Amino acid sequence: MVGGARVSGLKHEEIARILTGEIRAGEVPYGLQLPGETTLAERFSVSRNTVRAALTELGRAGLISTRSGKGSFVTYDGRPLNVRLGWARALQEQGLETTVRVIGAQPVQDAALAASLGEPSDSFIAIDRLRSIVNGPVISYERSRVRATAQVADAVAAGQAAGSLTRMLLECDLVASTGEQWVEVRMLDSTEAALLERPPAAPFLWSRCVTRNAVGELVEHVESLLDPAHFSLHFQFSAHE
């Protein structure tokens, strides 16, 4: 870790930004204990209260876990997720148990979305969910629009949207064969920030994914806002003449 860092602006936010950069760069590996509050206060020439506020920000972002009487430990490991498993299983393989809260699940008409996807029907099942680490922060906001079928409607009515959507869609005979995905960094608007319990304009990964079955019918259109402390992307390419 680099010592004697100069802190500007709001002190605890700047300290949190510096430590976040070091954690995400791998300078402070997963499972390692951070220096104590006194050591960090000396490093940044601030009070222990300021350090404590910075550590609180890191905890809210899911980068560290603070254990009473023991200190703060890094919980971010930066490993990419196998999204084919679905978020829940992919995160579980990383050692993170998550819980999902459904904040909306109902039929909708969306002519603009249907036109953009080339779909003959503007009827979808909308499923909006927040995913949190158990006893930890909210780490994603997922807005799914699924091809409207009677099976999907029945599954949602039975409460299956609170479980694995990947499994639910398979059980509803919506099997993804092909897909496209777009990813960029976006700043949270005020509504998103409130849902994700983050400050407005916090940077998050935005992902849009469209999957279709073997005959080209829509399976799912999903936009996700993903906490970069827990989601990373890994692409592989091969060249063919």
- CB count in 10 Å sphere of residue 212: 20
Mark whether 22 and 122 lie in a shared domain.
no
Q: Is residue 195 part of a domain?
A: yes
Q: Is residue 40 part of a domain?
A: yes
pLDDT recorded at residue 89: 53
CA dihedral 188, 100, 81, 71 (to 10 degrees): 80
Q: Is residue 240 part of a domain?
A: no
Residue 186: give its domain's CATH number.
3.40.1410.10
Cα–Cα distances in angstroms (integers) from residue 147 to residues 119, 123, 144, 152, 217, in the given order: 9, 7, 10, 8, 8
Residue numbers of the domain that contains 41: 11-74
Q: Is residue 102 part of a domain?
A: yes
Picking from 16, 26, 6, 118, the residue whose alpha carbon sits closest to that of residue 57 is 16
Mark whether 105 and 59 lie in a shared domain.
no
Q: What is the DSSP annotation of 175-197?
A: ---EEEEEEEEEE--HHHHHHHT
Residue-wise pLDDT for 176-201, tens only, equals 888 898 999 999 999 999 999 999 89
pLDDT recorded at residue 134: 82
Residue-wise pLDDT for 110-158, tens only, equals 999 999 999 999 999 999 999 998 888 899 999 999 999 999 999 999 9
Q: Is residue 103 part of a domain?
A: yes
pLDDT recorded at residue 197: 92
Mark whether 61 and 92 lie in a shared domain.
no
Last residue of a domain, one of 74, 109, 129: 74
pLDDT recorded at residue 73: 85
Residue-wise pLDDT for 4-45, tens only, equals 444 444 788 889 889 988 887 778 877 788 999 999 999 999
Question: What is the domain count for the chain?
Answer: 2
Mark whether 113 and 87 lie in a shared domain.
yes
Judged against a pLDDT cut of 60, whether residue 92 lies above it is answered with: no
pLDDT recorded at residue 215: 87
Last residue of a domain, one of 50, 74, 98: 74
Mark whether 114 and 28 lie in a shared domain.
no
Q: Is residue 2 part of a domain?
A: no
Split at pLDDT 50, 70, 90, the class of 2 is: very low
Mark whether 70 and 138 lie in a shared domain.
no
Residue 28: give its domain's CATH number.
1.10.10.10
Bridge partners (DSSP) of residue 67 are 71
Q: Is residue 4 part of a domain?
A: no
Mark whether 104 and 188 lie in a shared domain.
yes
pLDDT recorded at residue 237: 53
Mark whether 92 and 211 lie in a shared domain.
yes
Mark whether 88 and 187 lie in a shared domain.
yes
Q: Is residue 194 part of a domain?
A: yes
pLDDT recorded at residue 221: 97
Residue-wise pLDDT for 188-240, tens only, equals 999 999 999 999 899 999 999 999 988 899 999 999 999 887 776 655 554 44
